[in-house]
Protein backbone atom coordinates (compact mmCIF):
# COMPACT_ATOMS: atom_id res chain seq x y z
CA UNK A 1 0.00 0.00 0.00
CA UNK A 2 2.89 2.36 0.77
CA UNK A 3 4.22 1.83 -2.75
CA UNK A 4 0.85 2.76 -4.26
CA UNK A 5 0.51 5.80 -2.00
CA UNK A 6 4.01 7.00 -2.86
CA UNK A 7 3.31 6.48 -6.54
CA UNK A 8 0.10 8.48 -6.38
CA UNK A 9 1.80 11.34 -4.51
CA UNK A 10 4.57 11.46 -7.10
CA UNK A 11 2.00 11.30 -9.89
CA UNK A 12 0.22 14.37 -8.50
CA UNK A 13 3.56 16.17 -8.25
CA UNK A 14 4.50 15.34 -11.85
CA UNK A 15 1.13 16.50 -13.12
CA UNK A 16 1.20 19.68 -11.04
CA UNK A 17 4.70 20.57 -12.26
CA UNK A 18 3.86 19.70 -15.89
CA UNK A 19 6.61 17.10 -16.17
CA UNK A 20 8.10 17.37 -19.72
CA UNK A 21 8.33 13.59 -20.26
CA UNK A 22 4.69 13.12 -19.30
CA UNK A 23 3.57 15.98 -21.54
CA UNK A 24 5.68 14.69 -24.46
CA UNK A 25 4.02 11.28 -24.26
CA UNK A 26 0.56 12.84 -24.01
CA UNK A 27 1.24 15.11 -26.99
CA UNK A 28 2.52 12.20 -29.08
CA UNK A 29 -0.57 10.13 -28.23
CA UNK A 30 -2.92 12.92 -29.23
CA UNK A 31 -1.13 13.52 -32.52
CA UNK A 32 -0.78 9.88 -33.56
CA UNK A 33 -4.24 8.72 -32.47
CA UNK A 34 -5.95 11.91 -33.63
CA UNK A 35 -4.56 11.68 -37.16
CA UNK A 36 -5.24 7.93 -37.34
CA UNK A 37 -8.88 8.40 -36.32
CA UNK A 38 -9.43 11.28 -38.75
CA UNK A 39 -8.07 9.15 -41.59
CA UNK A 40 -10.22 6.19 -40.54
CA UNK A 41 -13.30 8.43 -40.49
CA UNK A 42 -12.50 9.83 -43.93
CA UNK A 43 -12.22 6.32 -45.38
CA UNK A 44 -14.46 4.31 -43.07
CA UNK A 45 -17.66 6.36 -43.06
CA UNK A 46 -18.11 6.47 -46.85
CA UNK A 47 -17.16 2.79 -47.02
CA UNK A 48 -19.63 1.93 -44.26
CA UNK A 49 -22.45 3.86 -45.93
CA UNK A 50 -21.69 2.14 -49.24
CA UNK A 51 -21.71 -1.28 -47.56
CA UNK A 52 -24.99 -0.52 -45.78
CA UNK A 53 -26.77 0.63 -48.93
CA UNK A 54 -25.02 -1.34 -51.64
CA UNK A 55 -25.90 -4.68 -53.18
CA UNK A 56 -23.01 -6.45 -54.87
CA UNK A 57 -21.49 -9.94 -55.03
CA UNK A 58 -19.35 -10.66 -51.98
CA UNK A 59 -21.00 -8.02 -49.80
CA UNK A 60 -21.60 -10.46 -46.94
CA UNK A 61 -18.00 -11.62 -47.14
CA UNK A 62 -16.80 -8.02 -46.87
CA UNK A 63 -19.08 -7.46 -43.88
CA UNK A 64 -17.74 -10.63 -42.27
CA UNK A 65 -14.18 -9.39 -42.77
CA UNK A 66 -15.10 -6.03 -41.24
CA UNK A 67 -16.66 -7.76 -38.22
CA UNK A 68 -13.56 -9.93 -37.89
CA UNK A 69 -11.47 -6.78 -37.90
CA UNK A 70 -13.34 -5.56 -34.82
CA UNK A 71 -11.48 -8.18 -32.80
CA UNK A 72 -8.16 -7.94 -34.61
CA UNK A 73 -5.31 -8.02 -32.04
CA UNK A 74 -3.27 -4.78 -32.26
CA UNK A 75 -0.03 -6.73 -31.93
CA UNK A 76 -0.90 -8.64 -35.12
CA UNK A 77 -1.55 -5.35 -36.91
CA UNK A 78 1.79 -4.09 -35.62
CA UNK A 79 3.54 -7.20 -36.91
CA UNK A 80 2.06 -6.90 -40.40
CA UNK A 81 2.62 -3.14 -40.66
CA UNK A 82 6.12 -3.58 -39.23
CA UNK A 83 7.01 -6.09 -41.96
CA UNK A 84 5.58 -3.77 -44.62
CA UNK A 85 7.56 -0.72 -43.48
CA UNK A 86 10.72 -2.64 -42.53
CA UNK A 87 13.76 -1.36 -44.40
CA UNK A 88 13.75 -4.38 -46.72
CA UNK A 89 9.94 -4.59 -46.85
CA UNK A 90 7.56 -3.47 -49.63
CA UNK A 91 7.28 0.05 -48.14
CA UNK A 92 10.85 0.21 -46.87
CA UNK A 93 11.77 3.00 -49.28
CA UNK A 94 9.41 5.32 -47.38
CA UNK A 95 11.65 5.03 -44.30
CA UNK A 96 8.67 4.82 -41.94
CA UNK A 97 9.91 2.22 -39.47
CA UNK A 98 10.31 3.61 -35.93
CA UNK A 99 8.45 6.80 -36.86
CA UNK A 100 5.10 8.31 -35.96
CA UNK A 101 4.04 7.72 -39.56
CA UNK A 102 4.24 3.96 -39.05
CA UNK A 103 2.28 4.28 -35.81
CA UNK A 104 -0.42 6.31 -37.56
CA UNK A 105 -0.65 3.65 -40.28
CA UNK A 106 -0.99 0.85 -37.72
CA UNK A 107 -3.59 2.71 -35.67
CA UNK A 108 -5.50 3.57 -38.85
CA UNK A 109 -5.77 -0.15 -39.61
CA UNK A 110 -6.99 -0.81 -36.06
CA UNK A 111 -9.60 1.97 -36.09
CA UNK A 112 -10.93 1.38 -39.61
CA UNK A 113 -13.04 -1.75 -38.88
CA UNK A 114 -14.55 -0.01 -35.85
CA UNK A 115 -15.65 2.96 -37.95
CA UNK A 116 -16.85 0.91 -40.92
CA UNK A 117 -18.75 -1.62 -38.79
CA UNK A 118 -20.54 0.94 -36.64
CA UNK A 119 -21.33 3.09 -39.67
CA UNK A 120 -22.99 0.12 -41.36
CA UNK A 121 -25.11 -0.51 -38.24
CA UNK A 122 -26.01 3.19 -37.95
CA UNK A 123 -27.16 3.54 -41.55
CA UNK A 124 -29.06 0.24 -41.60
CA UNK A 125 -30.94 1.33 -38.47
CA UNK A 126 -32.44 4.32 -40.31
CA UNK A 127 -36.08 4.16 -41.39
CA UNK A 128 -36.18 2.52 -44.86
CA UNK A 129 -38.88 5.03 -45.85
CA UNK A 130 -36.31 7.80 -45.52
CA UNK A 131 -34.39 6.50 -48.52
CA UNK A 132 -37.59 6.30 -50.55
CA UNK A 133 -38.46 9.88 -49.62
CA UNK A 134 -34.98 11.08 -50.59
CA UNK A 135 -35.23 9.28 -53.93
CA UNK A 136 -38.72 10.69 -54.54
CA UNK A 137 -37.36 14.22 -54.07
CA UNK A 138 -34.85 13.60 -56.85
CA UNK A 139 -31.74 13.96 -54.70
CA UNK A 140 -28.42 13.09 -56.31
CA UNK A 141 -26.29 10.26 -54.90
CA UNK A 142 -24.01 12.72 -53.14
CA UNK A 143 -27.00 14.55 -51.65
CA UNK A 144 -28.55 11.25 -50.55
CA UNK A 145 -25.36 10.20 -48.77
CA UNK A 146 -25.12 13.60 -47.11
CA UNK A 147 -28.71 13.42 -45.83
CA UNK A 148 -28.30 9.87 -44.56
CA UNK A 149 -25.06 10.78 -42.78
CA UNK A 150 -26.80 13.75 -41.19
CA UNK A 151 -29.70 11.59 -39.98
CA UNK A 152 -27.28 9.05 -38.51
CA UNK A 153 -24.91 11.66 -37.06
CA UNK A 154 -25.20 10.56 -33.42
CA UNK A 155 -24.43 6.87 -34.09
CA UNK A 156 -21.64 8.02 -36.41
CA UNK A 157 -20.25 10.09 -33.57
CA UNK A 158 -20.24 6.92 -31.50
CA UNK A 159 -18.28 5.25 -34.30
CA UNK A 160 -15.69 8.01 -34.11
CA UNK A 161 -15.47 7.61 -30.34
CA UNK A 162 -15.05 3.85 -30.65
CA UNK A 163 -12.28 4.30 -33.18
CA UNK A 164 -10.44 6.74 -30.93
CA UNK A 165 -10.87 4.52 -27.89
CA UNK A 166 -9.50 1.54 -29.78
CA UNK A 167 -6.29 3.27 -30.83
CA UNK A 168 -5.46 5.58 -27.93
CA UNK A 169 -5.39 2.63 -25.51
CA UNK A 170 -3.52 0.11 -27.66
CA UNK A 171 0.13 -0.69 -27.08
CA UNK A 172 1.20 -3.71 -29.14
CA UNK A 173 1.13 -2.14 -32.59
CA UNK A 174 2.71 1.15 -31.52
CA UNK A 175 5.47 -0.62 -29.63
CA UNK A 176 6.34 -2.81 -32.63
CA UNK A 177 6.38 -0.16 -35.35
CA UNK A 178 7.27 2.94 -33.32
CA UNK A 179 10.13 1.45 -31.28
CA UNK A 180 9.15 3.51 -28.19
CA UNK A 181 11.73 6.25 -28.78
CA UNK A 182 11.81 8.77 -25.93
CA UNK A 183 10.69 12.22 -27.01
CA UNK A 184 9.53 10.98 -30.41
CA UNK A 185 7.46 7.80 -30.70
CA UNK A 186 6.88 7.16 -27.00
CA UNK A 187 3.16 7.57 -26.37
CA UNK A 188 1.11 7.26 -23.18
CA UNK A 189 0.61 3.48 -23.27
CA UNK A 190 4.21 2.60 -24.14
CA UNK A 191 5.47 5.16 -21.63
CA UNK A 192 3.38 3.55 -18.86
CA UNK A 193 4.99 0.17 -19.54
CA UNK A 194 8.47 1.72 -19.70
CA UNK A 195 8.11 3.61 -16.42
CA UNK A 196 6.55 0.62 -14.63
CA UNK A 197 9.40 -1.63 -15.79
CA UNK A 198 11.87 0.89 -14.33
CA UNK A 199 10.00 1.00 -11.03
CA UNK A 200 8.99 4.65 -11.62
CA UNK A 201 5.43 4.13 -10.48
CA UNK A 202 4.81 7.84 -9.92
CA UNK A 203 5.44 8.56 -13.59
CA UNK A 204 3.40 5.51 -14.59
CA UNK A 205 0.44 6.65 -12.47
CA UNK A 206 0.70 10.18 -13.88
CA UNK A 207 0.66 8.85 -17.44
CA UNK A 208 -2.23 6.52 -16.62
CA UNK A 209 -4.18 9.42 -15.12
CA UNK A 210 -3.74 11.47 -18.30
CA UNK A 211 -4.77 8.52 -20.47
CA UNK A 212 -7.91 7.92 -18.42
CA UNK A 213 -8.72 11.64 -18.36
CA UNK A 214 -8.33 11.79 -22.14
CA UNK A 215 -10.67 8.86 -22.72
CA UNK A 216 -13.16 10.25 -20.19
CA UNK A 217 -13.12 13.69 -21.85
CA UNK A 218 -13.90 12.17 -25.25
CA UNK A 219 -16.70 10.02 -23.83
CA UNK A 220 -18.12 12.93 -21.84
CA UNK A 221 -18.23 15.12 -24.94
CA UNK A 222 -19.94 12.44 -27.01
CA UNK A 223 -22.42 11.68 -24.22
CA UNK A 224 -23.27 15.37 -23.87
CA UNK A 225 -23.91 15.68 -27.60
CA UNK A 226 -26.03 12.51 -27.63
CA UNK A 227 -28.12 13.41 -24.59
CA UNK A 228 -28.71 17.12 -25.12
CA UNK A 229 -32.37 18.08 -25.68
CA UNK A 230 -33.44 18.16 -29.32
CA UNK A 231 -35.97 20.61 -30.71
CA UNK A 232 -39.37 19.07 -31.41
- The whole-number pLDDT of residue 143 equals 76
Cβ proximity of 74 and 170 under 8 Å: yes
Distance CA 224, CA 232 (A): 18
- The whole-number pLDDT of residue 71 equals 87
Low-confidence ranges of the chain (pLDDT < 50): none
Asked, for residue 19, whether it belongs to a domain, the answer is yes
> Which of 168, 192, 189 has the alpha carbon at shortest distance from 107?
168
- The whole-number pLDDT of residue 231 equals 55
Cβ proximity of 192 and 94 under 8 Å: no
- The whole-number pLDDT of residue 190 equals 95
Asked, for residue 76, whether it belongs to a domain, the answer is yes
- The whole-number pLDDT of residue 110 equals 96
Q: How many domains are contained in the chain?
A: 1
- The model's pTM is 0.88
Asked, for residue 187, whether it belongs to a domain, the answer is yes
CATH number reported for the structural domain that contains residue 24 in this entry: 1.10.3720.10
Could you say which DSSP state residue 152 is in? T
Ramachandran angles phi, psi of 147, nearest 5°: -65, -45
- The whole-number pLDDT of residue 42 equals 92
Asked, for residue 20, whether it belongs to a domain, the answer is yes
Asked, for residue 11, whether it belongs to a domain, the answer is yes
Radius of gyration for the alpha carbons in the chain, expressed in angstroms and rounded: 21
Asked, for residue 231, whether it belongs to a domain, the answer is no
> Which residue range forms the structural domain that includes residue 155?
2-226
Asked, for residue 27, whether it belongs to a domain, the answer is yes
Ramachandran angles phi, psi of 84, nearest 5°: -65, -40
Q: Annotate 55-91 with three-state secondary structure.
A: CCCCHHHHHHHHHHHCCCCHHHHHHHHHHHHCCCCCC
Asked, for residue 232, whether it belongs to a domain, the answer is no
Amino acid sequence: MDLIAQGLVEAVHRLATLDPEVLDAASASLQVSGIAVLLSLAVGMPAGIALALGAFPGRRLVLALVNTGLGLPPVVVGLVVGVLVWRSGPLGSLDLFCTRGAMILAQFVIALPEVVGLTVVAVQALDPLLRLQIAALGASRAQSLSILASEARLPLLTAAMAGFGAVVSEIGASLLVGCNIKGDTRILTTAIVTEADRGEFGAAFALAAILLALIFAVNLTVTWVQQRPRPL
